[in-house]
Structure 1
């Protein structure tokens, strides 16, 4: 709210000054906070979507396979999901198995 000064209309009559609510519901004072909240919501939704793509991978380690050949076959079929089977990064999965 603010005080509105008196003024003259075009027809020459005077309008006395008075208090007037000249701000809308969404005034410019709160736009910074609103923008920050919207950015935060967008950022968290992007993060939650990117994490959900990895959840489709099975969580298996070398103890879940009977032989190195079986682990190597699973690793070669999907290297993104089974990257934990190759600890040293040389392309050979579960080197401790026989």
Structure 2
């Protein structure tokens, strides 16, 4: 329990000081169980969502190995045959050598 000082209202009347409860009735002991369950559910949900996002980022980096691929362009090759053999060695890595997607790399180079 605490003591509340007196104060003036906006209309000019004075309210006498009095003792009050330190906790409001809306935050009583009977609501603590519900709050605890809600807090646990939110914590569990956050833990699950964080673990799923880290799993998906790990599996995404394993399936997409383009980050480990060397950067090659058609300008790095003198003939189309060199570009084609490089493209055939790893089509996922060197897919930028085949601009139209027909399976032939650097079609503008001489054979």
Same-fold call, TM cutoff 0.5: yes
Q: Distance in 1 between matches of 2:86 and 2:54?
A: 32
Q: How much is the aligned-residue C-alpha RMSD, in angstroms?
A: 2.5
Shift of 1:33: 2.2
Change (3 A) 1:48 1:59: farther
CA offsets 1:25-75 (integer angstroms, 9 cap, x no match): xx3112332233223322331343213633122221212222211110001
Greater helix fraction, Structure 1 or Structure 2: 2
Q: Is there any run of 5+ residues in structure 2 with no aligned partner, and where?
A: 1-27
**Paired residue total:** 78
Q: Is there any run of 5+ residues in structure 1 with no aligned partner, and where?
A: 4-21
- Asked if residue 2 in structure 1 is aligned to residue 29 in structure 2, the reply is yes
> TM-score normalized by structure 1?
0.62
- Asked if residue 87 in structure 1 is aligned to residue 99 in structure 2, the reply is yes
- Asked if residue 65 in structure 1 is aligned to residue 74 in structure 2, the reply is no
Matching residue within 33, 51, 54 for 2:61: 51
Shift of 1:85: 0.8
- Asked if residue 76 in structure 1 is aligned to residue 92 in structure 2, the reply is no
Q: Could you say which structure has the larger radius of gyration?
A: 2
86-95 or 36-45, which moves further after superposition? 36-45
> TM-score normalized by structure 2?
0.56
Equivalence for 1:29: 38
